Amino acid sequence: MEIPSREIFWNVGHVRLIVYALALIPALIFLYNLVDRIKLWRIGEKEKRTNKVFKRIKDVIYYVFGHKKVLVDFIPGWSHFFLFWGFVVLFLGTATIVVQEDFTKLFYNITFIKGNFYLFFSFMLDLFGILALIGVSILLIRRYIFRPARLDNKAEDAISLILIIAILCTGFIVEAFRIGATKPPFEKYSFIGYALSSLTGGSRLAHKTFWWIHMSLAFSFISYIAYSKLFHIITSPLNIFFRNYAHKGVLKPIQDMEEAETFGVHKIEEFSWKDLLDLDACTRCGRCQDNCPAWLTEKPLSPKEVIQDMKNHLLQKAPVISSKPGVEKKPGETIPAEENPSFPALIGEVISEDAIWSCTTCGACEEACPVFIEPFPKLIEYRRYLALMESKFPNEVQLAFKNMENNSNPWGIGSSTRADWAKDLGLKILSEDSDVEYLYYVGCSASFDDLNKKVATALVEIFNKAGLSFGILGVEEGCCGDSARRLGNEYLYSIMAESNIETFKKYGVKKIITSCPHGYHTIKNEYPQFGGNFEVYHHTEILLKLIKEGKIKFTKEVNKVIAYHDSCYLGRHNDIYDAPREILKAIPGVKLIELKRNRENSFCCGAGGGRMWMEENLGIRINHARVDEIVQANPNIVATACPFCLTMIVDGIKEKELDKKFSAEDLVLLVKEAL
């Protein structure tokens, strides 16, 4: 047996010509809108995203065809997987039939869809067709019956889902009428069409009618893609291909800072072309919103809404900013555009300042996004404009900037007292003896905050007992600049970074240990932008190394139930999840348990992105929300490996009067207790 003529009347010459002519219309509509969209993306600033081509292709296979990040969310993930692969297989099946019927058979009288291959071919098309129908039906039910809060339903959502269901259903009906009319005995392998054929009968007129309906729906689908969220069929693979391969959480420096006329972004066309592609790649799935600590604690920040509001603003402004095609842009230059008072201001009206300052830069939005959209770096660009161009920021931020400028720490404590915590510890100061293996970069928290001074002291005692070769800079140490950079003051950050790098190089520093994940991330991943390349370790990595080498030996039991809280900058941004847990497991008597949100899904303490130095006046305090989660796990101790996290959780415990229920400690203190 071989494939029956694709449709009963397909061999009529004028029918082919009509279909081919009609097919040109949606194809041209689609191509016109695609080209128009590409022109719109190109309005953005230039940015190179063409390195590592083979890795990019691999990622498209992995994340698009494999649905790696989509499947994290079980029900919608697998539903989309079925829908995606159903359409892929049906498209390939249709294309295969077209090749045979309209090329090999027509010109060379060669057929290849026959015999056992035809039976397999028929079975697979029906199997993946029904999987697609199941997938889209679940998505429809979820969206309009269960209605999760993260989904905002628009008319285009209903149109898209109904159109897909109609295409799939009419496809099966067409098959059923064909089987009913031709009655081939082997068509039972087309199990859906075969089952329906007994219900539909064998009307050739009905077959023709539904065939044209099915074809019209398919052509409408192609035409509608560029006007709806279905456009993600194109933009999602593109966005994954052009994803950012810089280390997670690393911000781009301002190029030619001394020569630049503006800093940050306050017009949509000042973003890069990739940032504008991000806007079209977003399908409003809401995964970022579901994981955003600001949104979950009733702040006016939803990463999804930020991206969608920017997209709507771009489309509104597009006719003006693209009115001069062919204008070449120099670095830092924007296309001249007529100022239209009807356009709302990007900062303040499209994106509220409260939303801009609510971000903790925890990276949860990027971690959750299945197509690698980058919301929080865009918010940092807004902060840069506000901080550097308008000097407009919360009063507490102004004080933090002043303190960092004058004393190189956000507390504003005299820099001459930076090493006072270590006076009686007999520590090597690099200015006196730089012959050490590691520089212990203490950081501002451990130098000036009483709670974290205890952690630094304990760490030094452990290192000394283990025979580690290390020293500190003392008063020559400066703030790493993390908070300044994430609060938008790139100029202040660059001064502090360059000063520290110069000091490190002066003493020939090669290896650096940090206690603060923010300092760890900044020195390891962002100082290279300024020529500072060093081996950087977090203290948990060094402690685990010493334990494995037998240089740290435990002699006491710590009989406690301990939950570990993952720091955003140690975990999500730098993938250090196992070292802290292995240390805790190595301590005798410790029973380690997990919090509900842990590892890459951990919940922020609320201090990142410079929020440590800002009042939290909107919604629920983020650290209170995290403490509530810790209470549910019922530990004796919640262990941290970040001074910001420790401070925020300790404060949350006190403010919620839970001191008698559990406590928070840096795991360094637990290691010391067990020695």
Q: Tens of pLDDT along 135-171?
A: 999 999 999 999 999 999 899 999 999 999 999 999 9
Which is nearest to 407 in space by CA: 396, 418, 419, 397?
A: 418
Domain range holding 591?
561-674
482, 515, 548 - which closes a domain: 548
Does residue 30 sit in the same domain as residue 166? yes
DSSP-H helix ranges across 414-571: 444-448, 450-466, 482-486, 490-506, 517-521, 539-548
398 belongs to a structural domain: no
133 belongs to a structural domain: yes
Does residue 104 sit in the same domain as residue 162? yes
502 belongs to a structural domain: yes
Does residue 323 sit in the same domain as residue 448? no
pLDDT in tens, 399-453: 999 999 999 999 999 999 999 999 989 899 999 998 999 999 999 999 999 999 9
Predicted pLDDT at 201: 74
394 belongs to a structural domain: no
548, 576, 602 - which closes a domain: 548
pLDDT range class, residue 331, cuts 50, 70, 90:
very low
Question: How far, in Å, CA of 519 to CA of 526, rounded?
Answer: 10
Distances (CA, A) of 627 to 224, 297, 324: 47, 13, 54
Count of structural domains within the chain: 4
408 belongs to a structural domain: no
pLDDT in tens, 88-122: 999 999 888 888 877 887 788 888 888 888 889 99
pLDDT range class, residue 257, cuts 50, 70, 90:
confident
pLDDT range class, residue 332, cuts 50, 70, 90:
very low
Is the CB of residue 172 less than 8 Å from the CB of residue 134? no
Q: Which of 255-259, 321-325, 611-615 has the lowest mean pLDDT?
A: 321-325
Does residue 540 sit in the same domain as residue 491? yes
Does residue 87 sit in the same domain as residue 188? yes
Task: Report the mean per-residue pLDDT for the chain.
Answer: 91
- Indicate which CATH number applies to the domain containing 137: 1.20.950
**Is the predicted pLDDT of residue 267 greater than 70, yes or no?**
yes
Per residue, the 3-state secondary structure of 157-173, as one string, reads: HHHHHHHHHHHHHHHHH
Quote the tokens at residue 604.
């922020």
DSSP-H helix ranges across 11-104: 13-41, 53-60, 74-99
Predicted pLDDT at 14: 65
Is the CB of residue 83 less than 8 Å from the CB of residue 230? no
Calculate what percentage of the chain has a pLDDT beyond 90.
76
Q: How many CA atoms lie within 13 A of 173 on its CB side?
A: 19
State mean pLDDT over 301-310.
97
Q: How many CA atoms lie within 13 A of 437 on its CB side?
A: 6
pLDDT in tens, 449-493: 999 999 999 999 999 999 999 999 999 999 999 999 999 999 999
Does residue 584 sit in the same domain as residue 666? yes
Does residue 91 sit in the same domain as residue 203? yes
**Geometric angle at alpha carbon 343, from 338 and 349, rounded to 5°:** 140
pTM above 0.85, yes or no: yes
488 belongs to a structural domain: yes
Q: List all residues 6 or more positions away from 259 whose beta carbon is below 8 Å from its beta carbon.
A: none
Q: How many CA atoms lie within 13 A of 258 on its CB side?
A: 1
Which residue bears the tokens 């941004």? 573
Does residue 164 sit in the same domain as residue 227? yes
pLDDT range class, residue 335, cuts 50, 70, 90:
very low
Is the CB of residue 287 less than 8 Å from the CB of residue 272? no
Question: How far, in Å, CA of 128 to CA of 646, rounded?
Answer: 51
Q: Is the dihedral angle over the CA atoms 203, 205, 211, 213 positive or is it negative?
A: negative
421 belongs to a structural domain: yes
- Indicate which CATH number applies to the domain containing 282: 1.10.1060
- Indicate which CATH number applies to the domain containing 533: 3.40.50
Does residue 235 sit in the same domain as residue 279? no
Number of Cβ within a 10 Å radius of residue 620? 15
